[in-house]
Structure 1
């Protein structure tokens, strides 16, 4: 190979001297070397310009005409620009021996510099490629909600570390394997330095493999005051936008080592549960009068109860309100719907209303709850029922005023 390079160099050198481009008789003058170097750099520039102006637009047109979408990400502008930077560096590296034949010191120096240039360009290519694969996976139906950002960040770190080791090996003229062996002895120190990154990566893999967390999930961790939507999951932090518009950042391993509530299943299901109770004054529970039962005649909910000999007003209310809930479009009728009694206490008889809102959004869900309980409070007197509540200042004032108005 060296003999072939020397023959080619001599032929070109003779041609340059015949044309008058070489000023001295000795073809190895400094001017001669400079002219060769400038010619190589010019050629590398022209090749790079050709890639940017012709090759990249041509590939872009071909990619646009294809029906698949994966090539739009793998051949995006950052990836193609990194390829266009690689070609000039390769041209310079290959042609340098022609310009510095017989000067091993300068040739070694320039080849090392060019090799470092090549390594940097290759690093840029792989980083751009990893980013493209991440964007592609973000569009995939099964992967878009997985917390894969931390995995891709770790891949970029690995690529950068390999690149740095390769550059150092070029500078000191040692094999990269020897440097890797030396780094193995310093593994304990590196583990301490990158402890959070390593633990975060392992936690991120666990979160992804077990499908525990996705961007967009609503999570709650009362212990840490977290109640909001996950906006970002990467290698070292998880960002949560709370409902009060504050942002909480926590390490991923906290979500693996501690418990948290994830409301994703609720959001993906057909409804959001409403489970609230109201305390009924037990002294207001009684049998319905004949006048009350006559007023219920003709109503659909009363038909199954009309043959009961003695009808309790609380039973009538539960039947009426269950039927009312069944006719509400904003309540999911395919899920559980019931009104049940809980254990009586000194504060009355708890009556629990259990149903599911068809709209899982926060505001419509709260509005439905409010309207349902407002209607309950308004309709209870029709059945002779009262809500239990402790006496207020107004109640005491009324009792006092009633006592003063009695004759002595």
Structure 2
């Protein structure tokens, strides 16, 4: 008596028709096989992952740790249940060769997918490991791994189609090769979009909800949809821009996700100072500026150092140019820096810098480089405006002038 026919033989004794007994026998065996496979897979996966994790914790190299992180042991653990199922399928479908053929093909396709999963885990492990090596961390490892994976997926997909259609792999490749020129011509955009979508997904270039700026297509807003051929962006003016998916890998665009995930949003804006308003500070001007609270200590200390230097080196201060001196633009730059450092809307743990840029036709730009602690657009603009409102109003206190092109009122004033 065959084990696979135990239920079948019992059902016959109850008077059930032969056909019904065979189908019910097959269904019960399929359910038993699936439950057993899942149970074995769960147990083996737990054992292998646990053993491998313990082994990785005891070794000095981080390669085995990377294997665990990339789920290589987890994927390898699926192999044993798969082998068991492949061996038992003929017994489950002993009376139904048609269903057995379908199941065998399905399992063979799953075997190909599992091999690709294992290969991906191993290649990602190698990629992460190579990046930890000093002599390889500046090499395009990601590109090499992607090329290997693309070839692997192409071969895997072609192998799966060959199995499903029942055509030998070589003949299938030959047939595809003959028709490839026509296929590429007709489905060029779809193929480009498909390849681009894979690369976008693998490289995690864009996600739904990301804020991107794509000047070529006039896009500046949140990604609302990503599909095979297009990416839809809802701009901040509520219009929709549609971008070809392959443009994301062929052209340059800006993704603001890094800023949104960081601790601050960058402020990088300059104020141009007229050149003819820059001069050395006289004693009267210096005494006046010392009344400004946030730079009074700086001016006392700095001026004392300068006076000490000039006295020690017998500098003739009848000419202001001689020796060391404070300038109104230098003190103004220090004032801005101190003000920004103490502003409540600025992240103090990130870079804060006030720098003088190269002289231009419009004067000398004094640039603020800092990060607001609030990244929300409206609040960010408020913080930046609040800082520059104060700074622009403070300019005259240092006997400086902001550069601006002449207006109609300037010409009227000149004619009076």
Q: Normalising by the residue count of structure 1, what TM-score does the alignment of the two structures yield? A: 0.58
Q: 2:174 aligns with which of 181, 188, 196?
A: 181
**1:6-405 alignment, distance < 5 Å:** 35=18, 37-53=19-35, 55-56=37-38, 59-60=41-42, 67=50, 70=71, 90-91=90-91, 93-96=93-96, 111-112=97-98, 114-116=100-102, 118-120=104-106, 122-123=108-109, 162-169=159-166, 175=168, 177-196=170-189, 198-200=191-193, 213=205, 215=207, 219-228=212-221, 236-237=229-230, 242=235, 248-261=241-254, 273-280=266-273, 285=278, 288=281, 290-297=283-290, 299-302=296-299, 303-305=301-303, 307=306, 310=320, 312-328=327-343, 330=346, 335=351, 337-340=353-356, 342-343=358-359, 345=361, 349-357=363-371, 359=373, 361=375, 363=377, 365-389=380-404
The CA RMSD over aligned residues, in Å, is 5.8
Corresponding residue SS for 1:355: strand
Aligned residues: 347
Alpha carbons 1:277, 1:353 under 8 Å: kept = yes
- Residues 153, 234 of structure 1: 8 Å contact kept: no
CA deviations 1:313-355 (Å, max 9, x no partner) are: 334322322333345572567747233255354xx53432142
CA contact (8 A) 2:329 2:400 kept: yes
Structure 1 residues 288 and 279: alpha-carbon distance in aligned structure 2, compared to 1, 3 A threshold: same
**1:245-277 CA-partner distances (Å, limit 9, x unpaired):** 666554454234333345677778887553322
Structure 2: 5+ residue runs without aligned partners?
54-67, 130-141, 308-316, 321-325
TM-score (normalised: structure 2): 0.57
Relative to structure 1, the CA distance from residue 235 to residue 125 in structure 2 (aligned partners, 3 Å threshold; closer, same or farther) is farther
- Can you give the 5+ residue segments of structure 1 that lack an aligned partner in the other structure? 1-6, 22-30, 97-110, 404-408
Q: Secondary structure at the match of 2:366?
A: strand
